[in-house]
Amino acid sequence: MAIERTLSIIKPDATKRNLTGKINAKFEDAGLRIIAQKRIQLTKEQAGAFYAVHKERPFFDELTTFMASEPVVVQVLEGESAIAKNREVMGATNPADAAPGTVRAEFAESVGENSVHGSDAPETAAVEIAFFFSSLELVG
């Protein structure tokens, strides 16, 4: 067990429905601390760079168009086992499979418009945090 940092994104379907506060409450209730946060509008190119790992997937165009469709809130969450804990709070990628009480079970609209992103491993968390934040913006 260790204190970790993970990159979270509150996606366009959720910012559009004014759900940022409700989602943040779930993170904080789970013991995750929001140590950096900003609201930004991604271009389709920036969304593509962030999700480059998925560029060969059939849903890549849909995903990047969606991520650039409305503002997103990017944030860094810190806490004990923050990467796995955040994935637990998020729930499964497809909201139909997400456990009750998770962000995706409560708020996601579909597998594509699923309200939140969370890093999946320490290596990807480091790269994804650096994609959006400088070290001076991380106030733990």
Q: Which residues bind ligand DAT (CB under 6 A)?
A: 54, 59, 62-63, 93, 111-112, 114, 117, 120
End-to-end CA distance of the chain: give it in Å, rounded.
18
- Considering the complex, what minimum distance in angstroms separates the CB of residue 62 from ligand DAT? 6
117 catalytically annotated: yes
Strand order across the beta sheet in which 72-80 lies? 33-40, 72-80, 3-10, 116-118
Residue number with CB closer to ligand DAT (36 or 108): 108
Q: Is 133 annotated as a binding residue?
A: no
**Strand ranges (DSSP E) for the chain?**
3-10, 33-40, 72-80, 116-118
- Considering the complex, what minimum distance in angstroms separates the CB of residue 63 from ligand DAT? 5
- Catalytic, out of 27, 115, 117, 125: 117
Nearest to 118 by CA among 19, 1, 11, 22: 11
- Considering the complex, what minimum distance in angstroms separates the CB of residue 87 from ligand DAT? 8
